[in-house]
């Protein structure tokens, strides 16, 4: 179904407006699907993003500043996100042995297992819509938009 049918609008001011509305609509479509996949695990997309960032350096720990540098949603309170993941037993937080001012964050075994499980679920549920060539094309178009 195309965007005109989905939002019951037959006319747009321009093709650019139609593309922008389609982009926003599609964002919410996938955001809802993403949230639905994460909800049974008791986490939000921002938590999943933190887990993926920490997993990217696993088994080495990361610092909060590294997480902030690469987070998708930079408006979130990182301390609360990490606190929740520590409380759930998914992350470990410790002081750096070399410098007590630095905090190290690493995945727990439970966090690694859950992250791998969620990655597999997201792959089968959300990432299969486009083949590799179309995925590259879409990514290039989104880069151009930004």
Mean pLDDT value of segment 105-117:
97
Q: Is residue 54 scored above 90 in pLDDT?
A: yes
Mean pLDDT along residues 128-146:
89
Query: Please, are residues 50 and 71 in contact by the beta-carbon 8 Å criterion?
Result: yes
| Structure confidence at residue 92 as a pLDDT band (50, 70, 90) | very high
Rounded to two decimals, what is the model's pTM?
A: 0.87
pLDDT for 127: 72
- Phi, psi of 105, rounded to the nearest 5 degrees: -120, 130
Q: Reply yes or no on whether the pLDDT at 62 is more than 90.
A: yes
């Amino acid at each position: 179904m195309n965007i005109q049918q989905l939002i019951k609008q037959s006319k747009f001011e321009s093709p650019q407006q139609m593309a922008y509305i389609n982009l926003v609509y599609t964002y919410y479509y996938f955001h809802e699907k993403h949230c639905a996949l994460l909800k049974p695990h008791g986490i939000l997309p921002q938590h999943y993003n933190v887990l993926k960032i920490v997993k990217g350096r696993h088994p080495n720990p990361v610092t909060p500043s590294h997480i902030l540098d690469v987070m998708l949603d930079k408006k979130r309170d990182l301390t609360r996100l990490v606190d929740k993941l520590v409380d759930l037993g998914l992350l470990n937080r410790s002081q750096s042995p070399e410098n007590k001012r630095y905090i190290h964050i690493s995945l727990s075994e439970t966090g690694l297992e859950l992250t791998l499980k969620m990655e597999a679920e997201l792959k089968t549920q959300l990432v299969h819509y486009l083949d590799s060539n179309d995925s590259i094309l879409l990514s290039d178009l989104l880069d151009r938009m930004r």
